[in-house]
Amino acid sequence: MCETHDESPALSRRTLLVGSGAAVAATALGPMVPAYAHERRHVLSDVHISDLYPVAMSDMRDSLADLDDAAPKADALVIIGDLTELGKQHHYPLLDLTLKTSVRPPRTYLAIGNHEYHANEPVDVMRQRFLDYAGRDSVYYATSLAGIPFVFLGSEGIPTGETSGGAVTALLSDAQLDWFEQTLKTVARKDRPTFVFLHQPPEITTQRDRLARILASAPNVVFFYGHLHTDLNWFAAGPDPSLLGNDEGYWRVQAPATTYINQKTRNANGTVSTLFQADWKQGLVVDVYDDSVVIRGRDTYQRQWIETFQVAIPVAKR
């Protein structure tokens, strides 16, 4: 399908009204002047690069090419974990090759995922392997781009009761959350968003309650996570606050996967069925304006916008 490049900030989008249990209302908003010189980011998760599934490399390239075609001039790419399938030494050069042979924004930011701990090697070796590739000293760090804070959190290892080959939960230390709490106090402001990235959602961490409290303690926090591979179209069936919502005092947004998607449907009896779609892939486009953050889901397999996942998150001057 041939589509016109979306280079104009004028968007027809759904607006989520602020507040617990808020309704979702469809609305068309007029042109808005970008708040910053660079206002667009592409966000992916769960690319799972390895030699075990070479198709993951082409899936990632195709997704990046489609995002660039549909929403050009992004200034950054964020990949929220599960960069590799197992976190083995030879997987990172394959990731590097995939990135270098892809059409992508000029900057790339990475978070660690649970699959980076699946190599069945010592935890410190697997963690350092990610850090060496990402060029970081820690799995949690803060930076900024065009005046917007980016705060990255990350699992520090494998929680008790889990094994390397089956590590799922994000191990978040008190030291990491102490740092995160202080960082939000320093960088979060009432007149701009703060983007926070962690591979797992709060409920799949070792410190779910404290993490949620910190996220809700600062203004205009938008928390992006991956891990679940859930089809963004599922939001229309709920809406599902696990995909997108602010019922806990901060905005949470699931970044979809490029490797496979879990398609969910609600049955007549109220149960939910999940169908594994190996070919499907999706991504996010994030635009920052004076008074909102606009997030649009993109089906990079069908090369079309996901009309039911296009939202404007207000930047509340609270």
Mean pLDDT of 292-312: 94
Interacting residues of 201 by C-beta distance below 8 A, sequence separation 6+: 225, 227, 228, 242, 252, 254
Please report which confidence band the pLDDT of residue 318 belongs to, taking 50, 70 and 90 as the band edges: low
> What domains sit in the chain, N to C, each tagged with a CATH number?
34-314 (3.60.21.10)
Q: Please give the pLDDT value at position 35.
A: 46
Each residue's pLDDT tens digit, 7-50: 333 333 333 333 223 333 323 333 444 444 348 999 999 999 99
pLDDT at residue 317, as a whole number: 63
Least confident of 4-18, 197-211, 248-262, 277-291: 4-18
Q: Where do we find the tokens 């041939």?
A: 2
Please state which of the ranges 6-15, 55-64, 166-175, 282-291 shows the lowest mean pLDDT: 6-15
How many CA atoms lie less than 13 Å away from 228 in the CB half-sphere? 21
Give the list of residues 6+ apart from residue 299 with CB closer than 8 angstroms, or none: 280, 281, 282, 305, 306
Tokens of 94: 């394959």
- With tokens 């995160």, the residue in question is 180
Averaged pLDDT for residues 97-113: 98
109 strand-pairing partners:
78
pLDDT of residue 235: 85
Over residues 132-147, mean pLDDT: 96
Instruction: Report the C-alpha gap between 45 and 256 in whole angstroms.
Output: 6
Read off the pLDDT of residues 160-174 as tens digits, 9 standing for 90 and up. 999 998 999 999 999
Backbone angles phi, psi at 243, to 5 degrees: -90, -40
pLDDT, average across residues 102-111:
97
User: Considering the chain, what is the average pLDDT of its residues?
Assistant: 88
Kindly indicate the confidence band of residue 241, based on its pLDDT and cuts at 50, 70 and 90. low
Taking each helix axis as running N to C, give the angle between helix 123-134 and helix 91-100, from 0 to 180 degrees, rounded to the nearest 10. 20
